[in-house]
């Protein structure tokens, strides 16, 4: 059956790109030593820094109601109070720039919290990391605060911007005009000239990061963020770290458990990164995951029949429509927002952004339909969210911090020739996303700081049980990562829970079974049987 464009339906009011961007703001996210170690914890500290670490652990954050300047960059409004009127409080704390020299320079971390409702039964502080790497906890926790009201019964909800991120001492690279050009460049080159342009753009980006943030670049990364979390634990006054990590936050939690196994209290890892995978394996896994999510989106569209705005009577025909649309945009971009066009690269970013959660499939359907008709505003707004660009054209530093953390964590560096040789495999895994995710591996090739290892170390003998929650339809952290993390944490530590569903992250997906299992563990210490399946 030939694919034809259906007539536009008028059964529901058209949403604007601005409204969608507001609705999807949260989806843009979607990854220290106690007494210098002892008791089996692998802190790596030395005796000469004990006094400095003791002083840092004794600091008292000056918690105050969050203001526009402390709530987010760019003068955004402070976070809204929680349903019972509880206001979010913000503060800062100092951590060593270099844990090998804890008496030297320090960097500042931004903190946010909402205090527990039942102070008499309070367990402690529950620290969140929502992923990226590079995502702002200062922004994410208030946006999602209502999801954790049951947990706030007995925990202070706490998050932070890790070193290099957001309101903490951050990584800065290009200015806003340069970033507009950088994110519009062709990320799936088809010719030698396009390959050269992509390589040159990445080199310019790396050089700007070094020029503007060279002091920070060697000291961002997951191991230092884990040490910062242990210092935060002490500053908060907790004997153990209670932790909820999502996406990249699961890797951070695993590294923390490896460094400080006996400092772990209760920890949940949701939407789990495979700790044993290489960069290439991770990229291939994401290509397969997003292709699966696109297929599920297409199948849902077909099931809805005439209520779906996209052409095609089978999922394969809808996927072919998407592929054809992207090919047309590669040759001829369409009108976007203002004087900015929707390029193939922006369209890919918008599609990826919307596939993070089933809640946003409606916007993906609408954006694809409108782009096919020459209006790229909605897909461009989704792409802007992926890149941390707001409606005023200002960027947060999500992508800069993401690059800095990833490139210092992983030692592998790829060349243009190596990427070109890997394209056939990526295309077999994902006809839609394979090229983009293969070329993305070029990003660290010209980075000014060497990477540290091939993969994170998360083995945590001696740690208590840690819940590891995987979602079968997760596009960004494929389901197999949960089993890999549970195994790597060690026998008796990793407790695997499966959510049979869609989206990136199970707890916030709204499934009652997942929430019941996680809440019982965090609030009452009830450890489920490993292999528990929801729903």
Residue 117 has pLDDT above 80, yes or no: yes
Residue 143 has pLDDT above 70, yes or no: yes
User: What are the catalytic residues?
Assistant: 247, 474, 504
Look at 38-47, 131-140, 221-230, 486-495 and tell me which has the smallest mean pLDDT. 38-47
pLDDT band at 259 (very low <50, low <70, confident <90, very high): very high
Residue 325 has pLDDT above 60, yes or no: yes
Q: Which residue has the higher pLDDT, 288 or 9?
A: 288
DSSP-derived letter for residue 247 is T
Q: For position 44, what pLDDT does the model report?
A: 42
Alpha helices in 131-271 (DSSP H): 137-144, 149-152, 176-184, 192-213, 222-236, 248-259
> Which residues, other chains included, contact 251 with Cβ-Cβ below 8 Å and sequence gap of 6+?
31, 222, 245, 273, 275, 456, 458
SS3 readout for 324-389: HHHHHHHHCCEEEECCEEECHHHHHHHHHHHCCCHHHHHHHHHHHHHHHCCECHHHHHHHHHHHCE
Residue 250 has pLDDT above 60, yes or no: yes
Query: How far is residue 493's CA from residue 459's CA, in Å, rounded to a whole number?
Result: 9
Mean pLDDT estimate for the chain: 90
User: How many Å from the N-terminal Cα to the C-terminal Cα in the chain?
Assistant: 38
Nearest CA to 267 out of 494, 420, 531, 478 is that of 494
pLDDT band at 77 (very low <50, low <70, confident <90, very high): confident
Query: How far is residue 248's CA from residue 132's CA, in Å, rounded to a whole number?
Result: 6
DSSP-derived letter for residue 28 is G
Percent of the chain scoring above 70 in pLDDT? 90
Q: Which residue has the higher pLDDT, 382 or 44?
A: 382
Angle, CA 130 vertex, CA 126 and CA 132 arms, to 5°: 150
Query: How far is residue 408's CA from residue 410's CA, in Å, rounded to a whole number?
Result: 6
Q: For position 111, what pLDDT does the model report?
A: 98
Q: What 3-state class would DSSP assign to 466?
A: strand
Look at 76-80, 415-419, 434-438, 518-522 and tell me which has the smallest mean pLDDT. 76-80
Q: For position 7, what pLDDT does the model report?
A: 31
Question: Any bridge partners for residue 532, and if so which?
Answer: 497
Kindly report the number of other CB atoms within 10 A of residue 500's CB atom.
Answer: 14
Q: For position 87, what pLDDT does the model report?
A: 95
Residue 63 has pLDDT above 70, yes or no: yes
Kindly report the number of other CB atoms within 10 A of residue 421's CB atom.
Answer: 12
Q: Residue range 92-108: average pLDDT? A: 96
pLDDT band at 410 (very low <50, low <70, confident <90, very high): very high
DSSP-derived letter for residue 420 is H
Q: Residue range 520-526: average pLDDT? A: 98
Residue 18 has pLDDT above 90, yes or no: no
Question: For the residues of 116-160, what is the DSSP string, one character each?
Answer: -S-GGG--EEEEEE--TTT--HHHHHHHHGGGGHHHHTTEEEEEE
Q: For position 68, what pLDDT does the model report?
A: 74
The answer to whether residues 335 and 342 touch, using CB atoms and an 8 Å cutoff, is: yes
Query: How far is residue 317's CA from residue 380's CA, in Å, rounded to a whole number?
Result: 24
Look at 35-39, 88-92, 250-254, 369-373 and tell me which has the smallest mean pLDDT. 35-39
Complete edge-to-edge strand list for the sheet that includes strand 124-129? 64-65, 89-96, 106-114, 155-161, 124-129, 241-246, 264-270, 466-473, 494-502, 532-534
Angle, CA 423 vertex, CA 418 and CA 427 arms, to 5°: 160
Q: For position 525, what pLDDT does the model report?
A: 97
pLDDT band at 76 (very low <50, low <70, confident <90, very high): low
Residue 26 has pLDDT above 80, yes or no: no
pLDDT tens profile 334-384: 999 999 999 999 999 999 999 999 999 999 999 999 999 999 999 999 999
Q: For position 153, what pLDDT does the model report?
A: 97
pLDDT band at 188 (very low <50, low <70, confident <90, very high): very high
The answer to whether residues 97 and 104 touch, using CB atoms and an 8 Å cutoff, is: yes
Q: For position 48, what pLDDT does the model report?
A: 62
Rg (CA), the chain: 23
Angle, CA 56 vertex, CA 88 and CA 250 arms, to 5°: 60
Q: For position 277, what pLDDT does the model report?
A: 87
Q: What 3-state class would DSSP assign to 46?
A: coil
pLDDT band at 69 (very low <50, low <70, confident <90, very high): low
The answer to whether residues 170 and 135 touch, using CB atoms and an 8 Å cutoff, is: no
Cα distances from 504 to residues 13, 29, 177, 295, in angstroms, run 28, 11, 31, 16
Nearest CA to 400 out of 160, 112, 129, 175 is that of 175
Nearest CA to 301 out of 325, 322, 324 is that of 322
Q: Residue range 509-514: average pLDDT? A: 93
Q: Which residue has the higher pLDDT, 51 or 28?
A: 51
Query: How far is residue 176's CA from residue 197's CA, in Å, rounded to a whole number?
Result: 19
């Amino acid at each position: 059956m030939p694919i034809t464009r259906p007539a536009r339906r008028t059964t529901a009011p058209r949403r604007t790109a601005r409204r969608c961007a507001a609705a999807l703001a949260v989806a843009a996210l979607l990854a220290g030593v106690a007494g210098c170690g002892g008791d089996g914890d692998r802190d790596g500290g030395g005796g000469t820094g004990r006094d400095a670490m003791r002083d840092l652990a004794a600091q008292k954050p000056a918690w105050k109601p969050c203001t526009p300047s402390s709530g987010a960059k760019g003068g955004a409004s402070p976070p809204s109070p929680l349903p019972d009127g509880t206001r979010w409080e913000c503060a800062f704390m100092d951590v060593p720039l270099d844990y090998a020299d804890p008496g030297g320079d320090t960097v500042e971390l931004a903190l946010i919290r909402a205090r527990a409702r039942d102070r008499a039964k309070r367990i402690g502080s529950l620290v969140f990391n929502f992923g990226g790497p590079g995502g702002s906890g200062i922004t994410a926790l208030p946006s999602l605060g209502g999801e954790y009201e049951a947990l706030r019964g007995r925990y202070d909800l706490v998050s932070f911007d890790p070193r290099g991120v957001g309101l903490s001492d951050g990584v800065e690279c290009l200015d806003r005009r340069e970033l507009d050009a950088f994110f519009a460049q062709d990320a799936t080159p088809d010719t030698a000239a396009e390959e050269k342009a992509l390589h040159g753009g990445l080199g310019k980006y790396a050089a700007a990061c070094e020029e503007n943030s060279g002091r920070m670049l060697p000291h961002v990364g997951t191991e230092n963020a884990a040490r910062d979390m242990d210092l935060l634990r002490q500053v908060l006054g907790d004997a153990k770290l209670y932790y909820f990590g999502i996406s990249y936050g699961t890797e951070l939690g695993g590294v923390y458990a490896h460094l400080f196994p006996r400092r772990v209290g209760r920890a949940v890892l949701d939407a789990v990164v495979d700790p044993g995978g290489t960069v290439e394996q991770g990229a291939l896994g994401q290509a397969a995951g997003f292709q699966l999510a696109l297929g599920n989106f297409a199948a849902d569209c077909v099931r809805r029949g005439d209520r779906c705005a996209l052409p095609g009577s089978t999922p394969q025909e809808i996927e072919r429509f998407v592929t054809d649309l992207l090919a047309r945009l590669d040759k001829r971009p369409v009108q976007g927002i203002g004087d900015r066009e929707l390029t193939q690269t922006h369209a890919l970013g918008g599609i990826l952004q919307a596939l993070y959660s089933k809640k946003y499939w409606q916007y993906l359907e609408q954006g694809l339909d409108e782009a096919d008709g020459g209006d790229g505003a909605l897909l461009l707004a989704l792409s802007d969210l992926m890149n941390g660009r707001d409606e005023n054209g200002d960027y947060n530093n999500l992508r800069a911090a993401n690059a800095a953390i990833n490139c210092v964590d992983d030692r592998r560096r790829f060349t243009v020739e190596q990427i070109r040789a890997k394209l056939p495999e990526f295309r077999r895994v994902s006809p839609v996303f394979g090229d983009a995710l293969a070329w993305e591996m070029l990003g660290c090739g010209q980075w000014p700081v060497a990477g540290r290892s091939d993969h994170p170390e998360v083995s945590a003998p001696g740690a208590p049980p840690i819940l590891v929650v995987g979602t079968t339809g997760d596009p960004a952290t494929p389901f197999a990562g949960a089993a890999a993390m549970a195994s790597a944490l060690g026998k008796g530590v990793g407790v695997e829970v499966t959510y049979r569903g869609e989206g990136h992250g199970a707890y916030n997906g709204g499934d009652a079974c997942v929430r019941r299992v996680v809440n019982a563990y965090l609030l009452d210490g009830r450890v489920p049987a490993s292999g528990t399946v929801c729903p």
